[in-house]
Amino acid sequence: MGRQKERIIVGMSGGVDSAVSAALLIEQGYDVIGVMLQLWRDSGTNGKSPEYHDTINEHIRDLKLITQQLGIPLEIVNARDAFLRRVVEPFVCGYEQGITPNPCLTCNPQLKFDRLLEEARFWGASKIATGHYARIRPNENGSVSLYKGRDPHKDQSYVLAMIPQAMLQKVVLPLGEYTKDEVREYARRQGIQVAGKSESQDLCFIAEGNYREFLRSRGIRNNQPGPIRLSSGEIIGEHSGLPDYTIGQRKGIGIAWAEPLYVIAKDIGTNSLIVGIRSELGGTSITVRNVNWISGSPPDNTLRVEVKIRYKAEPAPALVIPAGYDRADVRLDHPLDDITPGQGAVFYQGDMVIGGGIIAGSV
């Protein structure tokens, strides 16, 4: 009698990345179970439009075709309430507090990976897998390290930087050594139905892709017009509502000035949008909170790193100074213009992710 296959749960969405991840794991000899997490999604400003239903039905239809083709079971798990509570409501709350949150940074550890691990325990699986483009490598001491994906254009290590060590040890990322073109080509060779399917949108829960309209529909509190001020305090115009703006924004301020104006701060107390010229923007020091150190504990000393302050930002050289278990100060070698509270600051040494947290402020 042959050895029983190791069971693994694959988070699947109906897209090509998760489909190829499942196919690769089957090739590697795993007993694969596909799991789709049904997440809460905005139905649009006019109620549940036909497009809303069509998109949901399309994902489920594609996923059923994929799992039937691969010959694996599919479980569809209702995670709407948890997603609304853990991801969507904090996203709205963040804008009410004047920050610009990145919901993926909290969604992955607090909802998606957490729920997939619940399914793994239920089905007796030892690991979970997703279609993220990043790499996990074991260390001699039993821990694991997180690295950028091989494809620099698709690398998703930034959005995984908040995954704690204990959770990361149970994760498999089959696409880390592949480029997106190679994944699509593999899917075509295997005849996988969704080989040419387009990418999903960044904010998966906003049906019409307009976060401003979404925030209004959720009844966000600080969405009233107010003064636009220079840093000197002079009022030079009126804004449409603080959630409509983000730090570093230039277009859409709507004020003619001798030099281009940028959003440099939001004053929630006075409902003021603070603008200034480019030289007033940004800083060389960042305070980071809720830091997750991939190793499981903060380093003993300061570290030379490259830091990314947005998913698509270029890494910038910096010094990271741990400040307790889950806080850090980042001293940049050169000023950055668009340091935005609520976004993630992720620390790298080469391709290795050292850790990451949420930007609290900058000077």
Q: In whole angstroms, what is the distance from residue 89 CA to residue 3 CA?
A: 46
Q: Which of 26, 82, 204, 277 is the catalytic position?
A: 204
Burial category of 309 from C-beta neighbours within 10 Å (exposed 0-12, middle 13-18, buried 19 and up): buried
Query: Partners of 229 in the beta sheet?
Result: 235, 274
Give the bridge partners for 76, in sequence order.
36
Strand order in the sheet with 226-230: 235-239, 226-230, 272-276, 262-267
Of the candidates 139, 134, 129, 201, which has an alpha carbon nearest to the alpha carbon of residue 161?
134
Distance CA 223, CA 220 (A): 6
Burial (CB count within 10 angstroms: exposed 0-12, middle 13-18, buried 19+), residue 4: exposed
Whether 107 sits among the annotated catalytic residues: the reply is yes
Residue 310 CB partners (closer than 8 Å, separation 6+): 102, 338, 340, 343, 344
Task: Give the angle subtended at the CA of 100 by the CAs of 268 and 102, to the nearest 5°.
Answer: 155
- Active-site residue, from 10, 107, 183, 215: 107
Q: Which residues lie closer than 8 Å to 61 by C-beta, 6 or more apart?
A: 14
Whether the CB-CB separation of 73 and 10 falls below 8 Å is answered with: no
Place of tokens 């809720």: 290
Q: List, by residue number, the catalytic residues.
A: 107, 204
